[in-house]
Amino acid sequence: MSCWRNFPAMCSSSRTFLLLFPLLLHSFVALVSAQGSNNTSPWQTLSGNPPFVVARGGFSGLFPDSSGIAYNFTLMVSVPDVILWCDVQLTKDEVGICLPDLRLNNATNSANVLAKNRSSVYVVNGVHTEGLFTVDFNSKDLENVTLTQGIYSRPDNFDGNGFAILGPEDVYEQLQPPGLWLNIQHDAFYTQRNLSMRNFVLSVTKRITVNYISSPEVGFLKSISSRINPHKTKLILRALGPDTIEVTTNQTYASLLRNLTFIKTFASGILVPKTYIRPIDGDGYLQPETSLVSDAHKAELEVFASEFYNDLPLSYNYSYDPITEYLSYFDGGRFSVDGVLTDFPISPSAAIDCFTHLDDKAKSQAKPLVISKFGASGDFPACTDLAYSKAISDGVEVLDCPVQMTKDGTPFCMSSINLIYSTKISQTPFINRSKTIPAISSENGIFAFDLTWEEIQGLTPSISNPFSNFTLFRNPRFRNSGKFLTLPDFLALAKNGSSLSGVLIHIENADYLAKEQGLSVIDAVSDSLSKAGYDNQTALKVLIQSPNSPVLIKFKEEKKNYELVYEVDMSISDVLNETVVDIKSFADSVTITKDSVFPENQQYLTGSTNVVTKLQSLNLSVYVETFSDEFVSQAWDFFSDATVEINSYAMGAGIDGIITDFPKTSARYKKNRCLTMKELPNYMIPVQPGSLLQLVTEAYLPPKKASSPVLGDKDIAEPPLSPVSSKAPPPAGEGGSAASPPAPSRNGQPKLGAGAGFLLLNLAILCIVILPF
């Protein structure tokens, strides 16, 4: 066990991490010097101080649980008083080690190192359990066993680094953490094997400082309570499921927590799953909060909440944003928990120090501009009144309308010309109008220009679920809610949006509509803007976006005060200088994909491009899409946290605008007080693209990926727009079958569809309808 006692030399990969970490973030000193924002904040914790961040096994959301790299990384990206958590297990010779489970199987490479015939079957909490148990091995047997990622949905690329198993003393002596928490989960199990967890804990607390000791077993906590200095070490009762029986009292944990005065006789606090405080119903929505925190504080018990993971589905009320969830436990207005147990300590660190106690008057940073993607389409069906109303209430700055044309020439907002993608039209008789139009798409579709506005009004919207392949769905209670708007009604709505600084009108397929359908989307947009008074006002800026340069050239010829935005709808690795000059001749801004800024390979950032710098060199603003809150849309480098991703693009790449289907997350980011600090805390420093991948050993690197193409003149050159045809559109509905939406990718989403209907908005009424996000 010598490597457990000599952490700096435990393996070469740990040294590599320490050398490479400056590439990931700035020095740890910056974090300490940047503190102080908590000093004047009102906290409703028991102590009146900010809540604690307790890192379960270190940064176990990314690295192997309880590994040296996981603990080190935690100290470097968290609040200065972060507490390191160690699940203590005992070996056959009563050596304590940090390991998340009684068994070695999932969290280590034991299956490759230890003899398979050493597997045992034991009864654990009444359940027969098979595996390689720590109690069957002496500490010397485990010297060649290394830690691996035990949760299969998390990256296993660090498994080849050879991280040795550590003990509590190793963690304390080599890392000198601000706080250390020992969790004793199975004292009764060890007692049955004639091993004394009590003796180990009492012994180790004499040698090192242990700030917290938790256990779900009342008997264990009572057995050590008289031997532990409460001013040095606090004892915490860890509650399991509400119907689970506590082995000592034979009561359920729900029953135990109704007798807080009894718990106070042997413990200083409780650790409970977060749903004890904010329950979630079977459909994934929040129920009314309980009084547990207030009741415990009255009994002078601290309350810690557990089961915080960025990479598991959250309640739909949180819109897949972990910062929103943390804030509901820190800054809900009625209580604050005293700490959280998390696998991703960077997120609660930022929530505590940067986002708590922000009010509506908090000053917003100038950049990046927050632009909606079909309204708040992460919460409601795209381009519906509900999506637009939610975007405005969330603080979006530019509201978007992708303009489509009906058969009878009505311009309206819909996310795709193909109605299948975001309506339930395939379940209607209109399915017989399905056809393939190669000029638009290789897939079958039912197209907007084949229906009149009256027909479209009768369609049912359908929310976009771009990550359904990962069983991640958006706001199912409202998946078919809302009405679609004509362009004039959208423009009228935007004039009443208090947060808005502009509208973005997106135009596609203009040439096809003019040539083949006799419909001029450009004239319809120009006429609608003019009639709505957007040509002679300065309150709201008008942005015209298109992937087709002739469309922007046409608007430029009108010499109106519009911002023209060229959309590069493919990932690029570079752009030729002469191409930038050409784009500047017809556009004021450019929209590019996230991959065009930070390329990635199998969810790892591989570096950064010069695309943003080159475009901005000619004063072209750069907008980037699409930013979503779902963790599968983000590279591993962003720690499954949309705010980390936004910050890295905003501060690291210096982009001018964020196009997002969850505008609340971006709008809140711009108000966080850490952005005004002279020295940013490390949890608000942009990640360094490619640095995380450098921590992966060669055998575990993802296969090399070809670079994206370079944008050249041939990519932007298009023939002039066709004149509007005078011939009648061809009859709709010839054969074909309904198309399926394109499959989602890990970091992107398909073109969305739209729906139908019309509703003149009344925002006051909508506030009652919309969920309390």
Residue that finishes a domain, picked among 713, 732, 747: 713
299 and 327 fall within a common domain = yes
Q: How many domains does the chain have?
A: 2
pLDDT of residue 118: 86
Stretch 341-363: mean pLDDT:
93
SS3 call for 27:
coil
pLDDT of residue 728: 54
| Per-residue CA distances from 161 to 109, 157, 695 (Å) | 11, 9, 8
Stretch 538-543: mean pLDDT:
93
275 and 380 fall within a common domain = no
Tell me the CA end-to-end span of the chain in Å, nearest whole number: 51
Stretch 317-331: mean pLDDT:
97
Does the residue 719 lie in any domain? Answer: no
> What is the CATH classification number for the domain harbouring 420?
3.20.20.190
Does the residue 766 lie in any domain? Answer: no
pLDDT of residue 362: 80
94-111 pLDDT, tens per residue?
999 999 999 999 999 999
pLDDT of residue 499: 81
211 and 300 fall within a common domain = yes
522 and 396 fall within a common domain = yes
Query: Which carries the bigger pLDDT value, residue 589 or residue 362?
Result: 589
288 and 420 fall within a common domain = no
Domain of residue 175, residue span: 52-103+147-355
120-153 pLDDT, tens per residue?
999 998 899 999 999 999 999 999 999 999 999 9
Stretch 192-200: mean pLDDT:
96
pLDDT of residue 13: 40
Stretch 679-708: mean pLDDT:
95
Does the residue 741 lie in any domain? Answer: no
Please report which residue ranges of 414-469 form alpha helices under DSSP H.
453-457
Residue that finishes a domain, picked among 309, 326, 355: 355
Does the residue 119 lie in any domain? Answer: no
What one-letter code names the amino acid at 388?
Y
pLDDT tier at 727 (50, 70, 90 boundaries)?
Answer: low
pLDDT at position 740 over 50:
no
SS3 call for 272:
strand
Residue that finishes a domain, picked among 326, 355, 384: 355
408 and 327 fall within a common domain = no
Does the residue 634 lie in any domain? Answer: yes
The span from the CA of 551 to the CA of 720, in Å, is 9
651 and 580 fall within a common domain = yes
163 and 291 fall within a common domain = yes
pLDDT of residue 366: 81
Mean pLDDT, the chain, as a whole number? 89
pLDDT at position 611 over 60:
yes
The span from the CA of 130 to the CA of 37, in Å, is 49
231-270 pLDDT, tens per residue?
999 999 999 999 999 999 999 999 999 999 999 999 999 9
pLDDT tier at 555 (50, 70, 90 boundaries)?
Answer: very high
Does the residue 556 lie in any domain? Answer: yes
287-304 pLDDT, tens per residue?
999 999 999 999 999 999
422 and 301 fall within a common domain = no
pLDDT at position 741 over 90:
no
478-508 pLDDT, tens per residue?
999 999 999 999 999 999 888 899 999 999 9
Q: Annotate 236-249 with b (16+ C-beta within 10 A) or e (fewer).
A: bbbbeebeebbbbe
422 and 342 fall within a common domain = no
231 and 379 fall within a common domain = no
pLDDT tier at 19 (50, 70, 90 boundaries)?
Answer: very low
Does the residue 759 lie in any domain? Answer: no
The span from the CA of 502 to the CA of 491, in Å, is 10
Query: Which carries the bigger pLDDT value, residue 760 or residue 742?
Result: 742
Does the residue 41 lie in any domain? Answer: no
pLDDT at position 671 over 60:
yes
pLDDT at position 23 over 80:
no
283 and 165 fall within a common domain = yes
